[in-house]
Amino acid sequence: MSKVALVTGGMGGIGTAICRQLSQQGFTVATTYSRPGREQAWLDEQAQAGFTFHAYECDVTSYEACVAMAEKIRSELGEVDVLVNNAGITKDGTFKKMDKTNWDAVIGTNLDSVFNVTKQFVDSMADRGWGRVINISSINGQKGQFGQTNYSAAKAGMHGFTMALAQEVAKKGVTVNTISPGYIATDMVMAVPEDVRNKIITGIPVNRLGKPEEIAGLISYLASDISGFMTGTNLAINGGQHMC
**pLDDT tens sequence across 69-108:** 999 999 999 999 999 999 999 999 999 999 999 999 999 9
pLDDT tens figures, 131-155: 999 999 999 999 999 999 999 999 9
The pLDDT assigned to 131 comes to: 98
Q: Label residue 232 by pLDDT band (50, 70, 90).
A: very high
Give the confidence band of 128 by pLDDT, cuts at 50, 70, 90: very high
Question: What CATH code would you report for 4-234?
Answer: 3.40.50.720
Distance between CA atoms of 34 and 58, rounded to whole angstroms?
Answer: 5
- Which residues, 6+ apart, have CB-to-CB distance to 223 below 8 Å? 5, 22, 25, 27, 82, 84, 132, 134
Angle among Cα 160, 112, 170 to the nearest 5 degrees reads: 40
What single letter denotes the amino acid at residue 222?
Answer: L
Check: CB of residue 161 under 8 Å from CB of residue 204.
no
Quick check: 160 pLDDT over 90?
A: yes
Bridge partners of residue 117, in order along the sequence: none
pLDDT in tens, 175-227: 999 999 999 998 878 888 899 899 999 999 999 999 999 999 999 999 999 99
Contact (Cβ atoms closer than 8 angstroms) between residue 30 and residue 4? yes
- Report the C-alpha gap between 233 and 219 in whole angstroms: 13
Q: pLDDT grade, residue 158 (50/70/90)? A: very high
- The count of other CB atoms within 10 Å of the CB of residue 40 is 10
Res 35: pLDDT: 85
Helices (H), ranges, the chain: 13-24, 39-48, 63-76, 100-107, 113-128, 139-143, 149-169, 187-190, 194-202, 212-222
Pick the catalytic residue: 33, 56, 63, 151?
A: 151
**Cα-to-chain-centroid distance, residue 123:** 20
Residue 62 has pLDDT above 90, yes or no: yes
**Alpha carbon distance 54, 58 (integer Å):** 13
| Rounded CA separation 218/114 (Å) | 20
Residue-level pLDDT at 71: 98
**pLDDT at residue 244 above 90?**
no
Selection from 112, 62, 54 nearest residue 80 by Cα: 54
pTM of the model as a whole: 0.96
Give the pLDDT score at 191.
81
Domain ranges of the chain: 4-234
Query: Catalytic: 151?
Result: yes
Give me the percent of the chain exceeding a pLDDT of 70: 100
